[in-house]
Amino acid sequence: MRLVIARCSVDYSGRLTAHLPEAIRLIMIKADGTLAIHSDGNASKPLNWMVAPNLIETHADRWVVTNSKGESLTIWIDEVLEDVTHELGDDPGLQKDGVEAHLQELLAARPWVLEEGLTLVRREYPTDIGPVDLLCADQENRAVAVEVKRRGEIDGVEQLARYLERLDNDPRLAPVRGIFAAQSIAPQALVLAEARGIEAIEVDYEGLREVEDTELRLFDIRH
């Protein structure tokens, strides 16, 4: 990963146009080519970003980032204050807490509770930016990506939206629908999910656990 702290201004052109006036910012370039621009505030969300695959051209006074969708990001470099590169190595991935991991397991065994006729294709389906929790197929055999959280927040919706973007690059799967499943979902996350075309579903975890317990008892009786 390359981290650059620079005084810069930024111009984006694509689905819309945007301009960031000159200021000191952090430019982060991941090994896969994903680029994100951060300020010292705004929590963890970047001010602007370009998800891989990208083409990054560096010049003395500017960086130009383009992709196959016709988007471009021009970073006008006035002064570089810090420029470091670190090899982070392989990442073991996010370890879910017990409830979240169990909820994922329950939904993998019973995907039809989210949508009638939904069937599991694979758990932890890989993308080049990380695995989506469940890849399923609906009644019409269309791909459906499901991201499972204990509590649904905006960052979870954004995470699923990024997965959908990567999955849609695979012609065997595209177009891929998204379902955001959680025990509870924040109102802001519901609004964002609707704007992203993602279905948000609150799941009764305790009810699923009771079903699982009943099935286990039946299994024990029969054996």
**In this predicted model, what pLDDT tens digit does every residue of 45-54 receive, in sequence order?**
788 888 888 8
Token pair belonging to 127: 């993308």
Q: Strand, helix or coil at 19?
A: strand
**pLDDT band at residue 74 under the 50/70/90 scheme:** very high
62-66 and 55-58: which strand pairing?
Answer: antiparallel
45 vs 29: CA distance, rounded Å: 15
The amino acid at residue 157 is V
pLDDT at 217: 42
**For residues 58-62, average pLDDT:** 92
pLDDT at 208: 82
Number of Cβ within 10 Å of residue 177's Cβ equals 17
90 vs 125: CA distance, rounded Å: 18
Read off the pLDDT of residues 174-208 as tens digits, 9 standing for 90 and up.
999 999 999 899 999 999 999 999 999 999 888 88
Q: Which CATH number among 3.40.50.970, 3.40.50.720, 1.10.3720.10, 2.70.180.20 corresponds to the domain 2-85?
A: 2.70.180.20
The amino acid at residue 50 is M
Tell me, yes or no, if the two domains 2-85 and 98-217 fold the same way. Answer: no
Q: Strand, helix or coil at 98?
A: helix
207 vs 125: CA distance, rounded Å: 26
Q: Locate the domains of the chain by residue range.
A: 2-85, 98-217
**pLDDT band at residue 214 under the 50/70/90 scheme:** low
108 vs 134: CA distance, rounded Å: 7
**Count of H-run helices and E-run strands, the chain:** 4, 12
Per CATH, is 98-217 categorized as 2.40.50.100?
A: no
DSSP state of 32: T
The amino acid at residue 139 is Q
**pLDDT band at residue 15 under the 50/70/90 scheme:** confident
Percent of the chain past pLDDT 70, that is, above it, reads 89
**For residues 99-118, average pLDDT:** 90
Read off the pLDDT of residues 124-169 as tens digits, 9 standing for 90 and up.
999 888 899 999 999 999 999 999 998 899 999 999 999 999 999 9
Put simply, whether the predicted model's pTM sits higher than 0.85 gets the answer no
